[in-house]
Amino acid sequence: MNSTIAKAFRELQLSICQQLEHLDGVGKFKEDAWERSGGGGGMSRIIHGNIIEKGGVNFSEVYGRMEDTIARKLEMEGGDFFATGVSIVLHPKNPFVPIIHMNIRYFQMENNWWFGGGIDLTPHYIRKDLAIQFHEQLRKVCDAFDPLFYMNFKKWADQYFNIRHRKESRGIGGIFFDRLNKDSGHGLDELLEYTLAVGNAFFPIYQQQVEATHTMPYDDANLEWMKFRRSRYAEFNLVWDRGTKFGLETDGRAESILMSLPPVAEWKYAYTPKPNSLEMETLKLLQQQSVDWLPLEG
């Protein structure tokens, strides 16, 4: 089973890279294969393109013995483990194109197994029509498997992608799930299918966002705002993201883990956008920390 899942994830990574190259039109992925001394390894694929300023699509498949000290950080006991996943972060060139993040992962240890993953969007400028479209697409993927998934995993994303020290969301959220196993009422086969459906939804969802925004003209002020928002993205990943922290604390491959960081980030002391500006409109939405993008119709 483990090798079946890893194979499906590896194929997904490859097909997403091909689709992204086609979408970008210029950038080509560079491959960087790596091995893990304890067992397994991965393949990082990095792009610098015309639409995507800096992007990474990682695959990993690792296994071996997990020491108790590390297992305790995951609230588990040590033992033989297997883990595989695909992880994507794309930082676009045009400030009106959103940053996107996708991750799917499978973990197996002794009699324990689970899936985790999600897709979330970080627009530098939030456009309500595109935010609604994004969440509608995620709801559709979720509803095909379980009527509770979207509601639960949307809430989880809002809680997870919170830059707590800034009292701001990282972006407009999306879905986030972890430790999804048979307690959900679904078996391994079905949850694999759901996780792959999330993975397969990534490209068409991002394509729509890109096509709606990438030809919009922008000026230096828009670029400044993008670099400012990127500093918040870096803060979230380095301070709060549990995957990043776990990876760095357990001597994971720093370059692959930190591939998520923006190409350039700018910190300004106590900066606030002008009242009634597009920037302020976005900031106010982020400060709500959770927006119900798809309210139930009355």
Distance of closest approach, residue 244 Cβ to a second copy, in angstroms: 8
CB nearer a second copy, residue 95 or residue 262? 262
Distance of closest approach, residue 71 Cβ to a second copy, in angstroms: 20
CB nearer a second copy, residue 132 or residue 234? 234
CB nearer a second copy, residue 198 or residue 226? 226
Q: Which stretches of the chain bind a second copy, using CB under 8 A? A: 32, 44, 46, 54, 56, 164-166, 227, 231, 234-235, 238-239, 245, 248, 251-252, 254-255, 257-259, 261-270
**Eight-class DSSP state of 25:** S
Distance of closest approach, residue 237 Cβ to a second copy, in angstroms: 9
- The CA distance from 291 to 124, in Å, is 16
Closest CA to 27 of 90, 105, 114, 82: 90
CB nearer a second copy, residue 79 or residue 273? 273
Rg of the chain over all Cα atoms, to the nearest angstrom = 19
- Could you say which of 22, 48, 91, 101 is catalytic? 101
Say whether 101 is catalytic.
Answer: yes
Look at strands 162-163 and 174-180 and give their pairing.
Answer: unpaired
CB nearer a second copy, residue 54 or residue 139? 54
Longest dimension (CA), the chain: 57
- The CA distance from 170 to 94, in Å, is 18
Distance of closest approach, residue 269 Cβ to a second copy, in angstroms: 5
- The CA distance from 150 to 103, in Å, is 16
**Eight-class DSSP state of 185:** T
CB nearer a second copy, residue 134 or residue 225? 225
Closest CA to 159 of 114, 127, 120, 195: 120
Burial of 34 (0-12, 13-18, 19+ CB in 10 A): middle
Distance of closest approach, residue 62 Cβ to a second copy, in angstroms: 17
The total number of residues written for the chain in this structure: 298
- Side-chain-side CA neighbours of 21 within 13 Å: the count stands at 13
Q: Which residue has the tokens 């001597």?
A: 251
- The CA distance from 96 to 263, in Å, is 16
Distance of closest approach, residue 265 Cβ to a second copy, in angstroms: 5
Element (H, E) at 64: strand 52-66
Catalytically active residues are 101
